[in-house]
Chains A and B, each alone.
Chain A
């Protein structure tokens, strides 16, 4: 167990000497700024029109959380499906390409030490992304009065989504020695996870309601939405942990079977 931090520390320092980490952070922050600005402009426009039409009922309901923060975090969660694979693609693939897997697998490290160490490193990176995104809604507290709880629940949803995606990315990286393939594989799996809910909602399953419900459960969207609406429910929380655990177990299995080939 004490070796996990050593693996994580090496992984983080490697992330930050390569341009990948800085590229990802810059891109993500820029996109956050773009979506946030878009949200603010849209919010003001809606406000102006509602005032012009004297829609007082609507104005009374309008708030920063529903009209600005929730959609903003939603966009940022979608962006994660190509940001996270960029961070995780090298985790295992580069070890294999470098031959350093021979160092790790002949050292006293257990496979869990390796997998969890690497995952811890990405998890810290995801928290950093969460902090960067959190800065934007935080600005709103200076000028308005959004709900603290709802905002934090949304950020929690974003971070949990990132953590679940990271576990999927770990797995994609563990089955190949090419970072490019790891990226594409992770992206495809995440895209499927994301659109599965939409497919279910379109009624493409005919009248197989159970299948619709199942696909809906598997899809990230619904769980993230609940959190960003401020509904912190164990069903939704458990979903993220299930994805995380599945990703990490599959990663461990993939690293282990590579040895037996």
Chain B
């Protein structure tokens, strides 16, 4: 459903993402882990076609995100780090707009919006202005926007950031339901909350300094009572002693 083939992104000398490849199948929830600045957001932006990769390609549901952009974009629901909301719109108006620009036919729009409202627990606030909502509700509106056109692929950038514990629970169970439910969505979510990965992800991809350093089922990683924290620390601290020239171009003497 999601396929990254050697994705790289360079900004001048700075290598943000370096040859990342992986596949995600239907019904799978993959946790995208890594320290801040590891390249998680950049990778997700390349998968959604928001920015083109310097090298490599990405396929969404079999469509190349650049050569066959329209089909790929119809197939992906994306929740960016900052939910893309218009504060002056009301919740249902916003969702109707998102559905429209994602080519949901007019006759199905109302049902699609109602379904997204219900799944994200927004039915009670459907007429409220987005700007007047609390952060947790806004996050949910963003998530509702990502699923309103029923895309087979979901890409969620830190979907639970800024939420209270109860809201976090709700969003997590929603994501789980989306992956296992009738839609069989393929889900990638980025986070640096390790407990979140343990709670909902079946597989972990660990990114560090733009490279994929670990890609394994959660059960395999935590087999024998190993904890995710240890793996995370081991992988990300491993080369801390030897400064990586690619990751610190500013200090590169020329």
Q: Could you tell me which A residues sit within 8 Å of B by CB distance?
A: 3, 6-7, 10, 13-14, 17-18, 98-110, 259-260
Contact = CB atoms under 8 A, between A and B. Distances in A.
Interface stretch (B78-86, B213-221, B243-251): B78-86
Contacts of B82: 99, 102
Interface residues of B, number: 29
Contacts of A99: 80, 82-85
A106 B76 contact: yes
Contact of A14 (B76, B83, B88): B88
Q: When A and B form their complex, which 4 residue pairs have the shortest distance between CB atoms, in order from nearest?
A: A103-B84, A99-B82, A100-B84, A106-B48
B98 A103 contact: yes
Contacts of A260: 51-52
B159 interface: no
Contacts of A101: 84
B133 interface: no
A101 B145 CA distance: 14
Contact of B84 (A3, A14, A102, A108): A102
Interface stretch (B13-21, B100-108, B189-197, B204-212): B100-108
Nearest to B102: A107
A109 B101 contact: yes
Nearest to B145: A103
A19 B10 CA distance: 42
SS class of chain B's interface: helix, strand, loop or mixed? loop
B49 interface: yes
A17 B97 CA distance: 16
SS class of chain A's interface: helix, strand, loop or mixed? helix
B5 interface: no
B200 to A, nearest CB: 23
Nearest to B93: A13
A108 B102 contact: yes
Nearest to B49: A106
Which of A13, A99, A102, A103 has the largest count of B CB atoms less than 10 A from its CB?
Answer: A103
Nearest to A105: B50
Contacts of B87: 98
Interface string B53-73: 000000000000000011001
B40 to A, nearest CB: 15
A103 B100 CA distance: 12
B74 interface: yes
B97 A6 contact: yes
A98 B85 contact: yes
Contacts of B78: 102-103, 106
A100 B86 contact: yes
